[in-house]
Amino acid sequence: MLLTRLKPFFVFIALVMAVGFASAFLFPPGEWHAALNKPFFNPPNWVFGPVWTTLYVMIGIAGALAWRWDPQSGAVKIWFLQLVLNGAWTAVFFGAHQVDLAVVIILVLWWSIISFIKRTKTELPLAAWLFFPYLLWVSFATMLNGAFASLN
């Protein structure tokens, strides 16, 4: 019984991890990224792995909560949209080296995170709170992406 109740959490966390790690594996920063002019507030590379891993778990839990509440809800649809956008950003920025297009994608990602928070804050406040650190990090990443676009 407990395993049945926890299954959505395992599935959603695994899904987020799979998208995140696959996109990182397929589109690593590499020499292209190393050669870019970086803003003064660019964090060291070692920061990104732990931050994203933590966020992926939180994103997965929030998605599972929304799914358990109503699998057909707008919140679940937005959750899947943000997952696609998250993977797309990595492919566009690191894979295609399209820094300007990546700004557009990350802005839509930022909007989708806010939309998820708005849709879940009343009925699923824990899901909304779990997305708040994600919003903060993507806000920072948006500034970082904009700086990369400006400097390169």
Is pLDDT at 1 greater than 80 in this prediction? Answer: no
Report pLDDT digits (tens) over 67-126: 999 999 999 999 999 999 999 999 999 999 999 999 999 999 999 999 999 999 999 999
> Is 58 a member of any domain?
yes
> Is 65 a member of any domain?
yes
Could you give the CA distance from residue 24 to residue 30 in angstroms, rounded to a whole number?
A: 11
Cα three-residue angle 46-96-31, rounded to 5 degrees? 45
Kindly list the distances between the CA atom of residue 106 and the CA atoms of 8, 12, 19, 42, 145, in Å, as whole numbers in the listed order. Answer: 27, 22, 16, 17, 8
> Is 37 a member of any domain?
no
Task: Give me 84's structure tokens.
Answer: 């696609």
Number of domains in the chain: 1
Is pLDDT at 3 greater than 90 in this prediction? Answer: no
> Is 38 a member of any domain?
no
Report pLDDT digits (tens) over 36-75: 999 999 999 999 999 999 999 999 999 999 999 999 999 9
Contacts of 30 by beta carbon, 8 Å cutoff, 6+ apart: 94
> Is 36 a member of any domain?
no
User: Checking phi first, is residue 30 left (phi over 0); if not, alpha (psi -120 to 50) or beta?
Assistant: left
> Is 103 a member of any domain?
yes
> Is 60 a member of any domain?
yes
* Residue range of the domain that includes 84: 2-28+46-151
> Is 35 a member of any domain?
no
